[in-house]
A and B are shown apart, each in its own frame.
Chain A
Amino acid sequence: MVKIIIENCIGCGACEAGCPVGAISTASGKAAIDYDTCIGCGACVSNCPCEAIENEDAAKSAQVEEAKPAEYHGVWVFAEQRGGELNPTVFELLGEGKKLADKLGEKLTALLLGNGVDALTDELGAYGADCVIVADDSLLEDYNTEAYAKVVCDLVRERRPEIMLIGATSLGRDLAPRLSARLYTGLTADCTALEIDHETRGLLQTRPAFGGNVMATIITPNHRPQMSTVRPGVMKKAPRDASHRAQVERVSVELSASDIHTRVVKTVKELKQTVNLVEAEIIVAGGRGVGSREGFALIEKLAETLGGVVGASRAAVEAGYIGVDHQVGQTGKTVRPRIYIACGISGAIQHRAGMQNSECIIAINKNAEAPIFDIADYGIVGDLHKVIPMLIEELSAR
């Protein structure tokens, strides 16, 4: 339980501002916790500048099964592949992993699992891996949670990396929690920034938390490896250097069919029109203000005029105006186009988290108070159903 030490409290409000659930009030001049709302996350303990908040549990903590962090070395990146093709996030993980490994003075290792995937090791080297560990086995042909978890866990237990990065893809988010549960170590989902703490050598993992309403920096102080899944499209890709070679090591796999309890019957690529939001240069996005499925035709027309693609807020997707593939934001895609036009989007933090790094943001909204205007380069307060047709005409006339 989190407790205020009243004598130390100066009523500065740092705890109140940083509380993700609004459980602290400093209205009386000193901090007070509403224990019905408090979730005991401990954010206030570290946010307090004068040690006026303590965590009683932590004080009497009996530490169990903890790793000895000093015995763990190096940065590992999970080299996700399907059908012999590396997932694009792997190059981003290598870029970020290299940065962390350099700061720690450690090696960057890519972990590659599959069947007949040897050819990919050159590519992993060219993108910065110092070492590649290859586990090649027919039982690893298709991704399978249990088989992959066993191979990775066995290797982690034997080799003891201090950091392990996995792409927050559908495969990565299936595998990573399984690993963390088995290894009794921390896993931070969907990180958008990673840093090394100079004092502790620990990994500072930042992600949008509590519905995207605050950013939280998460640490794994006593357990190893420190595991993160990393949000695709956020980290910078490593530069390619064909002359850089990784040291390749092949390991034998101890797996039998009895380790595996699920069977992949088939994998089907769907011929849906894929929306490539992540690589789009121009995105025209609609929100609840678009008003209807039909209303999105206007958004599509503007996107077409500009040679861009259509995005949407969660509200628009949930209202059934448009498919989930178009969703931008914390649970959708993170995008950084040249132009992002937000039409009828109020700009909830969850949405902004996914698009605020766009080069130029244009917001069209009826409500002058909409938070989207706070991050817009250009704002127009008006009815999108009137403004967009004019905009299409002006653009077509050019």
Chain B
Amino acid sequence: MKLIVCIKQVPDTAEVKLDPKTGRLIRDGVPSIINPDDKNALEAALRIKDENEGSTVTVVSMGPQQADIAMREALAMGADEAILISGREFGGSDTWATSYIIATALKKIGDYDMILCGRQAIDGDTAQVGPQIAEQLGIAQITYARDIKLNGRTVTVERMLEDGFQVVEAELPVLITAIKELNTPRYMTPRGIYKAYEKQVKIWGFADVPVDEAKIGLKGSPTNVNKTFSPEQKGKGEMLEGADRNTVKTLVEKLAEKHLL
């Protein structure tokens, strides 16, 4: 079984803090992590590998050279091979262009039975790149997987819905996107970390991925950022004094006055 896992290195947005004086973001010192859903995808692949002798797990990412750290973490968790697609030419790509670049790289790898991605990255929250890769490769997709069972060449997935779940079956090859409920990702082991540094993270630059230059980067992306702005803030209200019985009484009175209770 040849398994490919697409991961993204993201800033840990839960650690992003606001400067209380300026209201601006403090971006320094925000740690980079493997996107959480992607780790669930990797864990799912590693479990399939554990149960199917002779399987390999290849981790693929697109990002700056610093994403090497995320790739090494994936290797230390048990991935066999890591390919980082990295180059200035790829910068500014929207989800369409990103999926086109990654799909082109996957076509170059050629041989795969299952592709696993996280549902969405916490820095973009689009959940688009997984399905877009599947479309570019012309294979079926099953999104929001919370359980994956493999029986020969047939995969059975529980796909999460708003009000329950669906059991979906497909023949390989297929692309599956993972959610948090799928599993608990394993930790790196000391041996894994040691082994990870014996392995090489392959870097594929622009020359290594046979893409049409006109379809990548900002110029090849159908969407552009027109402007960015800080979210509108609701004005600051009233700070009640203290935190005792009287404070609570005042609050209840104020709510009652406004007919909110």
Q: CB within 8 Å of B: which residues of A? A: 1-2, 17-22, 36, 38-43, 46-47, 55, 57-58, 60-64, 145-146, 149, 169-171, 173-174, 176-178, 180-182, 184-190, 204, 208-223, 261-270, 274, 306, 314-315, 318, 324, 330-331, 338-339, 348-350, 352-353, 356, 359-362, 369, 371, 373-383, 386-387, 390-391, 394-395, 398
Contacts and interface: CB of A to CB of B under 8 A. Distances in A.
A36 B91 CA distance: 11
A146 B142 CA distance: 10
Given A55-B218, A178-B131, A375 B252 contact: no
Nearest to B230: A214
B240 A213 contact: no
Nearest to B212: A64
Contact of A145 (B140, B225, B229): B140
Given A42-B225, A43-B225, A361-B234, A177 B166 contact: no
A46 B226 contact: yes
Contacts of A38: 91
A217 B224 CA distance: 9
Given A264-B167, A352-B231, A398 B240 contact: no
Contacts of A215: 228-232
A90 to B, nearest CB: 14
Interface of B: 10-11, 13-14, 16, 18, 20, 23-25, 27-28, 64, 66, 88, 91-92, 94-96, 99, 120, 122-132, 134-136, 139-144, 156, 160-171, 174, 180-181, 212-215, 217-240, 242-245, 247-249, 251-252, 254-256, 258, 260-261
Contacts of A268: 164-167
A2 B88 CA distance: 11
B169 A265 contact: yes
A325 to B, nearest CB: 9
Nearest to A356: B234
Nearest to B119: A173
A379 B238 contact: yes
Given A178-B141, A180-B96, A263-B168, A387 B156 contact: no
A41 B92 contact: yes
A177 B168 contact: no
Contacts of A306: 261
Contact of B226 (A218, A267, A398): A218
Contacts of A339: 255, 260
Question: For chain B, what secondary structure do more than half of its interface residues adopt (helix, strand, loop), or is it mixed?
Answer: mixed
A391 B252 contact: yes
Contacts of B124: 189, 209-210
B166 A266 contact: yes
Given A261-B139, A264-B168, 13 more contacts: A18-B227, A43-B225, A55-B218, A57-B92, A58-B219, A63-B214, A180-B132, A188-B223, A209-B228, A324-B180, A361-B234, A375-B233, A378-B239
Contacts of B255: 339, 360
Contact of B222 (A22, A55, A213, A222): A222
Contacts of B171: 261
20 contacts: A1-B88, A40-B92, A42-B224, A174-B143, A177-B126, A178-B141, A211-B122, A214-B230, A216-B225, A262-B169, A265-B156, A274-B163, A324-B180, A362-B251, A371-B20, A374-B234, A375-B234, A375-B235, A378-B237, A380-B240
Given A261-B170, A270-B164, A186 B258 contact: no
Contacts of A386: 243
B163 A270 contact: yes
The 9 closest A-B pairs by CB, nearest first: A382-B243, A40-B92, A211-B13, A40-B91, A186-B222, A181-B135, A186-B223, A22-B27, A377-B237
Given A64-B215, A261-B170, A391-B252, A382 B125 contact: no
Given A262-B169, A373-B236, A189 B127 contact: yes
Nearest to A189: B126
A187 B95 contact: yes
Contacts of A178: 131-132, 134-135, 141
A377 B235 CA distance: 8
Contacts of A356: 231-234
Contacts of A204: 226
A146 B16 contact: no
A145 B27 contact: no
B212 to A, nearest CB: 7
B145 to A, nearest CB: 12
B87 to A, nearest CB: 11
A58 B221 CA distance: 10
B100 to A, nearest CB: 8
Contacts of A374: 23, 233-234, 236
Contacts of B25: 22, 213
Contacts of B123: 210-211
B86 to A, nearest CB: 12
Given A177-B131, A208-B231, A187 B223 contact: yes
Given A204-B226, A210-B124, A42 B218 contact: yes
B236 A375 contact: yes
A173 B143 contact: yes
